[in-house]
């Protein structure tokens, strides 16, 4: 499999999530975004490291806006409220979700 291999067409304003690997403490997902505008707010129980592999995007946090271009990455800590404010039609992300270990 190739991370840049496309999937079925997605409609404008939609996202497609494709889990590439899952482990009890880690999940790797590639995300295709097609012209997303004002996506839903997230408040996740886990940290998320995300890199934009193609396209452009804007992330919104409660206290800031962050524009991203190809190659930019960001760490979103657990319970840091965020959403996708906008993306280009060809946005491709790689997201790594880091779950907390319980002893």
**Quick one: pLDDT at residue 86?**
97
Number of domains in the chain: 1
State pLDDT tens for residues 62-92. 999 999 999 999 999 999 999 999 999 999 9
Residues 89 and 83 sit within 8 Å (Cβ to Cβ): no
Residue 22 CB partners (closer than 8 Å, separation 6+): 28
Maximum CA extent, the chain: 43
Residues above pLDDT 70, as percent of the chain: 96
6 in a domain, yes or no? no
Residues above pLDDT 90, as percent of the chain: 85
2 in a domain, yes or no? no
40 in a domain, yes or no? yes
Q: Could you tell me the residue range of the domain that residue 35 belongs to?
A: 15-98
**Quick one: pLDDT at residue 9?**
82
**Quick one: pLDDT at residue 85?**
97
CATH number, domain with residue 24? 2.60.120.10
The model's confidence at residue 102, banded by pLDDT at 50, 70 and 90, is low
Rounded distance, CA 28 to CA 26, Å? 7
Tell me the pLDDT of the chain averaged across its residues. Answer: 93
23 in a domain, yes or no? yes
**Quick one: pLDDT at residue 7?**
73
Average pLDDT over residues 34-46: 94
């Amino acid at each position: 499999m190739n991370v840049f291999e496309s999937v079925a067409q997605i409609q404008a304003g939609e996202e497609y999530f494709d889990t590439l690997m899952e482990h009890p403490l880690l999940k790797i997902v590639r995300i295709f975004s097609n012209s997303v505008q004002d996506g839903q707010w997230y408040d996740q129980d886990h940290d998320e490291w995300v890199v934009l592999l193609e396209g452009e995007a804007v992330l919104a946090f409660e206290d800031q806006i962050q524009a991203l271009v190809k190659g930019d990455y960001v760490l979103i800590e657990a319970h840091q409220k965020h959403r996708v404010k906008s993306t280009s039609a060809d946005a491709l992300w790689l997201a790594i979700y880091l779950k907390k270990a319980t002893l």
